[in-house]
């Protein structure tokens, strides 16, 4: 149930913050984030570094709601709000970490 709540909150956040004109380009950063998350989680779970309880729907050991929720959404928003100035990139890291 927890993953479903996080999934819904993530998509509400995406709906509020996304620029639909740039979504066609930015979605690929979300897809890349999903691919990296699945690769890292699959490897870590197979090595026994951690396990995920109450996954709901499982995708290679990870929760589908986590993968398509916060991982995809933050990937898209990172691409959309990536600043051009170097000093703002540092601020961006802290903002994304807080999200």
pLDDT, position 31? 95
Q: What percent of the chain shows pLDDT beyond 70?
A: 99
What is the residue extent of each domain of the chain? 2-98
Mean pLDDT for the chain?
88
52 CB-near residues (< 8 Å, 6+ apart): 41, 45, 61, 62, 63, 66
The region, left, alpha or beta by phi > 0 then psi within -120 to 50, assigned to residue 47 is alpha
Cα dihedral angle (44, 49, 55, 58), rounded to 10 degrees?
30
pLDDT, position 15? 94
pLDDT, position 90? 87
Which residue has tokens 């398509």? Answer: 68
Q: What is the pTM of this model?
A: 0.83
Does residue 11 surpass a pLDDT of 80?
yes
pLDDT, position 28? 94
Confidence of residue 82 (pLDDT cuts 50, 70, 90): confident
Of residues 51 and 26, which shows the higher confidence score?
Answer: 26
């Amino acid at each position: 149930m927890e993953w479903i709540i996080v999934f819904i909150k993530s998509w509400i956040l995406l709906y509020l913050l996304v620029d639909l004109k740039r979504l066609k380009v930015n979605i690929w950063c979300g897809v890349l984030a999903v691919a990296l998350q699945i690769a890292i989680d699959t490897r870590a779970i197979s090595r026994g570094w951690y396990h995920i309880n109450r996954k709901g729907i499982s995708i290679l050991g990870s929760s589908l709601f986590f993968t398509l929720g916060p991982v995809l959404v933050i990937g898209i928003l990172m691409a959309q709000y990536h600043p051009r100035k170097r000093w703002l990139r540092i601020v961006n890291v802290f903002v994304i970490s807080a999200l």
